[in-house]
Amino acid sequence: MSAITHHIPDAMIAAYASGNLPHQFAMVVASHISLCAECRAALGAHQAAGGAVLESTSSVALSANLKTNLMSLLDEPTVPEPVYDAKGIYPGPIMQALKGKPLRWKKLGMGVRQSLLSESESGSTRLLYIPAGQAVPDHTHNGLELTLVLQGSFSDETGRFGVGDVEIGDQDLEHTPVADAGDACICLAATDAPLQFKAFLPRLLQPLFRI
């Protein structure tokens, strides 16, 4: 694996540790950390800081029976939660989102495919498959977009992104990523607003394709 050069900004890792990052971006952060020792260590640092703050935070008195109730639950049998581990190029958080179901790719044209992983009012996550040499349609973002490369690589106006790299786009970034030669490029992309394509797909079709 080539060295990761585009990481998650520190404030975003802190927000992830403290649970304040929207779900779709938390997916990208957790997936990147699965691949990146550097950001895993940074997360460890923020967890340590969170732990230190928790230890020194003020106490609130508990109900008298809370402890007794809890102690009586310790021996209760539990159903183990299903564990979804990384598989192939897909880190654990993506497998967690799929919950054991196979990927379902939808064709977007020009060989580009997508597989929607999660969608809500606050944003969405999807996998994008871009054949080598193919451009992702020119688009702008209403809000924030995080793109994590899982296979192959792409290049755009801002640089080259290989496996494990994250590109962070906001409304100011208008870019045309092109998948590099070699393997098809597969990315995890998260947005907090629908992407606006300027070419390739008429904007009217966007709801239909859920882009």
Partner 1 sequence: MLHGDTILRLWFKKNGSGGDPAFGSARIYTMITVTEHKPPTRYPVGRPPTKGIHVPSKDETLSDLTIWLLAVRDQRDKVAFGKLFDFLAPRLKGFVMRNGTAAAQAEDVVQDVMLTVWRKASMFDPHKAQASAWIYQIARNRHIDVARKENRPVPDELGEDPGQEPDASQILAVEQEASKLKQALQQLQPDQRAMIEKAYLGDLSHQEISTQTGLPLGTVKSRIRLGLGRLRTELRGLR
- Out of 36, 117, 163, 179, point to the residue binding Zn ion (CB under 5 A): 36
Nearer Cβ to Zn ion, position 9 or 182? 9
Residues 5-34 interacting with Zn ion (rule: CB under 5 A): 7
- Out of 2, 6, 7, 49, point to the residue binding partner 1 (CB under 8 A): 49
Q: Of the ranges 3-11, 14-22, 46-54, 82-90, which one interacts with Zn ion (CB under 5 A)? A: 3-11
Compose the 74-113 pattern: x for residues touching Zn ion by CB under 5 A, - for all others.
----------------------------------------
174 part of the interface to Zn ion, by CB under 5 A:
no
Alpha helices in 57-197 (DSSP H): 66-73, 92-98
Cα end-to-end span (Å), the chain: 30
The rounded distance, in Å, linking the Cα atoms of 22 and 192 is: 8
CB atoms within 10 A of CB 97: 18
Residues 3-32 interacting with partner 1 (rule: CB under 8 A): 9-12, 14-21, 23, 26-27, 29-31
For residue 143, with 0-12 CB atoms within 10 Å meaning exposed, 13-18 middle and 19 or more buried, which class applies?
middle
- The phi and psi torsions of 153 (rounded to 5 degrees) equal -160, 160
CB atoms within 10 A of CB 166: 26
74 part of the interface to partner 1, by CB under 8 A:
yes
Are 198 and 140 in contact, with CB atoms under 8 Å apart?
yes
- Out of 21, 26, 27, 39, point to the residue binding Zn ion (CB under 5 A): 39
Name the site residues for Zn ion (rule: CB under 5 A).
7, 36, 38-39
